[in-house]
């Protein structure tokens, strides 16, 4: 973008091919979140938007507009929440891009070795009258900054920031622990659990990581 920020668009289709999800994200020059919008679109002809959420992020709050055409619910809401925080459009199971959802909150975590922080998750939940949506904040994972570590990826040596992620409710359970690596610029390189990597950066075009 001309202002030095970055924009990206991600499109996913459901397994039956009846709907698609379009995510659009705006990131700062250091890959921190600025804005997000998502549409759930039926693939009938003509295409029909069934859910649309638009949000703006700052260091102290999240502001969103949501319109659920199918459920006939809508909302414009703001929640005060200091960074770091994660964001899910709708609380509960909802198909968003795992890599960029993880990158969003990991890019906000301070690089102080051994420091641990529970990262809250912000998103829409049903309001009290069940006909509206309301932004809420819930405890998410405990994130620990481990330090820097060298990785070999895409034919280059990458010095990455390494994080340990644990469930806040059961931090000592190895089954709920995973690891993440971010490049110096804030790009997600890899996610792994005890059995090995399950999400790895497989292609990249740009300056050295």
Between 44 and 99, the higher pLDDT residue: 99
State the pLDDT at residue 159. Answer: 94
Q: Is residue 205 part of a domain?
A: no
Structure tokens at 208: 């050295």
pLDDT of 46 reads: 63
- Which residue would you say has higher pLDDT here, 139 or 194? 139
Phi-psi region of 169 (alpha: psi -120 to 50; beta: other; left: phi over 0): alpha
Residue 115: what pLDDT?
94
Instruction: Give the per-residue pLDDT at 124.
Output: 86
Which residue matches tokens 């929640």?
79
pTM confidence score:
0.86
Smallest CA-to-CA distance from 118 within 145, 101, 141, 84 is with 141
Task: Give the other-Cβ count within 10 Å of 152's Cβ.
Answer: 8
Residues 148, 159: Cα–Cα separation, whole Å? 6
Q: How many domains does the chain have?
A: 1
The DSSP code for 1 is -
Is residue 174 domain-resident?
A: yes
Q: How confident is the model at residue 106 (pLDDT cuts 50, 70, 90)?
A: very high
Residue 176 DSSP SS3: helix
End-to-end CA gap in the chain: 20
The residue segments making up the domain with residue 150 are 6-200
Q: Where are the alpha helices (DSSP H) in 15-156?
A: 98-106
Given a contact cutoff of 8 angstroms between Cβ atoms, the answer to whether 22 and 30 are in contact is no
| Confidence at residue 169, expressed as pLDDT on a 0 to 100 scale | 75
**Per-range mean pLDDT, top range of 94-98, 134-138, 169-173, 194-198:** 134-138
Q: Is residue 206 part of a domain?
A: no
pLDDT of 130 reads 55
Cα–Cα distance measured from residue 28 to residue 76, given in angstroms and rounded to the nearest whole number: 24
134 class by beta-carbon count within 10 Å (0-12 exposed, 13-18 middle, 19+ buried): middle
Q: What is the pLDDT of residue 112?
A: 95
């Amino acid at each position: 973008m001309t202002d030095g920020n970055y924009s990206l668009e991600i499109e996913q289709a459901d397994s039956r091919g009846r709907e698609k999800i379009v995510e659009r994200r705006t990131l700062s020059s250091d890959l921190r979140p600025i804005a997000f919008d998502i549409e759930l679109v039926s693939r009938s002809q003509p295409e029909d938007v069934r859910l649309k959420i638009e949000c703006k992020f700052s260091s102290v709050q999240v502001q969103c507009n949501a319109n659920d055409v199918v459920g006939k619910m809508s909302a414009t809401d703001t929640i005060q929440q200091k960074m770091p925080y994660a964001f899910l459009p709708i609380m509960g199971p909802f198909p968003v891009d795992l890599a960029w959802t993880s990158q969003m909150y990991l890019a906000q975590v301070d690089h102080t070795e051994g420091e641990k922080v529970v990262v809250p998750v912000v998103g829409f939940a049903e309001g009290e009258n069940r006909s509206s949506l309301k932004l809420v904040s819930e405890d998410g994972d405990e994130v620990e900054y481990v330090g820097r570590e060298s990785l070999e990826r895409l034919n280059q040596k990458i010095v990455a920031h390494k994080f340990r992620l644990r469930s806040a409710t059961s931090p000592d359970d190895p089954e709920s622990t995973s690891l993440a690596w971010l490049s110096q610029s804030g790009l997600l390189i890899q996610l792994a659990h005890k059995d090995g990597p399950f999400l790895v950066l497989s292609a990249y075009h740009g300056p050295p990581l």
